[in-house]
Amino acid sequence: MSVKLSTGVEIPIEMHKARMVQKIQLVPVEERLKAIEEAGYNTFLLKTKDVFLDMLTDSGVNAMSDNQFAGMMNADDAYAGSATFYEFAKAVEDVLGYRHVMNVHQGRAAEHLLAKVFAKPGGVVPTNYHFTTTKAHIELQGMKVLEIYYDEALKTESDNQFKGNMDPNKLRKVIDEYGAERISFVRMEATTNLIGGQPFSMANLKEIRKICTEFGLRLVLDGSLLCENAYLIGKRERGYEDKSVAEIVKEMCGVPDIYYMSGRKNTSVRGGCIATNDLKLFELLKPWLPVYEGFITYGGMSMKEIGAMAVGMREMVDPSVAGCSVEQIKYFVNRLHAAGIPVVTPPGGLGCHLNAGRFLPHIPQSQYPAGALAAALYIASGIRSMERGTISMDRDKDGNDVFADVELTRLAVPRRVYTISHIDYAIDRIEWLYAHGDLVKGLKFVSEPPVLRFFFGKLEALDNWGVGLKEAFKSEIGTA
Ligand SMILES: Cc1ncc(COP(=O)(O)O)c(C=O)c1O
């Protein structure tokens, strides 16, 4: 939510009060340099004792509500037939409108099952934009991901309100080129994670549905950030101004054949689910659930988490929950944009994305500007962000880097966790770093796993630039 002050200025406002807190600490800059060196300049490998604001992700780190905790305490722990699962299934039916649901341990487990069950030889999956784990699972089944966004999607600074739209003409071309029989499914991601958390419009979702129906293609909706997408439809799409988030969510979920989500985001728990109204599709997936996840009434999740997820499913469509991060992100992005910092616009639904390509224009993609920016930001602030650029792309078969479409450093805004003073602090340190961008150089891999290398890969700073950055910070700002 946001409120207008008497001065006319609009600010995001927290529609909750903190009644339980967790202490955080800001370690001195020397310790931050040591910590990032030990982490191989990879923010994933930092320890939280060294992190001040953890903006690595919004996944599994949101604040649960009091009612969600109560849901955990009341959970019915049973291997099979748990009453808590049926409460969850009822919440899914009421909120999303799906009659059949199965839990999975997290979003990528849903991707694994969908890719496995719907795999086709030489198959392709057209998507509005890939997500790292989605792509990995599709490729592990010998298929290929085809990105069919509008060109505008990769324009980092734009006033296009729906950069997450899929280009229907490109979808028709893909069908023409590959044939419908090679298309495993068409995937729409609600707010494109890797290119700035940008939403798609309801009109676009329905247009893609029409094409899928015309050619007998399955449409899959990744609803991990469903409510943020719905909230932004309400704010940005003509005809939806007076609809509630709950109504928009229901309408969106009525469009695809299959829905899946990481529950770690919208429902603020550690789990996920797959849901549908098509019993035949459900029955195709169901036998594999106990093989990879668990029995149908728990699917690899703890019953306590399913109890919290049942409550979170109902709470997530409340505008104060659906809009909580979106409004903070808008404030964050607009302030940086106004200060001339290269940041992805318009603000999306996931976090604030710095355009590392423009922030550090002297670093070539082969030296990973987005990774260098994430490490530099940690040294300058104690804030942990995430590289979403070339390090997040795995090498091709010949061992060459695959350059990302855009080099972004993402500061995710977990739901109900940080306050505006935290965001003001982040803005200040980003501005300081932008003014000292020349002190930051590239990175070089020293160890690199063969798949999803961004998780465990270790790098070193070219010319040991971290030391110069630390010295500049100490002389201008001090130790913290
Ligand atoms: C759009 C999207 N899909 C799928 C996933 C994977 O979900 P999980 O992290 O729960 O495995 C994520 C995670 O960030 C995501 O953002």
Is there a cis peptide before residue 347, judged by omega within 30 degrees of 0? Answer: no
The predicted structure's pLDDT at residue 335? 97
The ligand 1 atom nearest the CA atom of 271? 10
132 is catalytic: yes
* Whole-number Å distance between alpha carbons of 84 and 74: 8
Mutate to test the pocket of ligand 1, among 129, 265, 325, 413 (most ligand atoms within 8 A of CB): 265
Ligand 1 center from residue 206 Cα (angstroms): 23
* Whole-number Å distance between alpha carbons of 190 and 252: 10
Token pair belonging to 338: 């106004």
Asked whether 108 lines ligand 1 (CB < 6 A), one says yes
335 is catalytic: no
Nearest Cα to Cα of residue 252 among 215, 280, 224:
224
The predicted structure's pLDDT at residue 251? 98
Residues in the chain: 480
Ligand 1 center from residue 58 Cα (angstroms): 10
458 is catalytic: no
265 is catalytic: yes
The residues near 236 (Cβ < 8 Å, ≥ 6 apart) are 161, 162, 199, 201
Catalytic residue (choose from 135, 218, 335, 388): 388
Surface-to-core class of residue 17, CB atoms within 10 Å of its CB (0-12 exposed, 13-18 middle, 19+ buried): exposed
Nearest Cα to Cα of residue 200 among 144, 259, 136, 127:
127
The ligand 1 atom nearest the CA atom of 272? 10
pTM given for the model: 0.96
Ligand 1 center from residue 390 Cα (angstroms): 19
The H or E element that residue 425 is part of is helix 420-435
210 is catalytic: no
Ligand 1 center from residue 39 Cα (angstroms): 23
142 neighbors 123 (Cβ within 8 angstroms): yes
Asked whether 263 lines ligand 1 (CB < 6 A), one says no
**Tokens 């082969």 map to which residue?**
366
Token pair belonging to 282: 């459900």
Ligand 1 center from residue 107 Cα (angstroms): 5
Per-residue pLDDT of the chain (480 residues; tens, 9 = 90+): 899 999 999 999 999 999 999 999 999 999 999 999 999 999 999 999 999 999 999 999 999 999 999 999 999 999 999 999 999 999 999 999 999 999 999 999 999 999 999 999 999 999 999 999 999 999 999 999 999 999 999 999 999 999 999 999 999 999 999 999 999 999 999 999 999 999 999 999 999 999 999 999 999 999 999 999 999 999 999 999 999 999 999 999 999 999 999 999 999 999 999 999 999 999 999 999 999 999 999 999 999 999 999 999 999 999 999 999 999 999 999 999 999 999 999 999 999 999 999 999 999 999 999 999 999 999 999 999 999 999 999 999 999 999 999 999 999 999 999 999 999 999 999 999 999 999 999 999 999 999 999 999 999 999 999 999 999 999 999 998
Asked whether 107 lines ligand 1 (CB < 6 A), one says yes
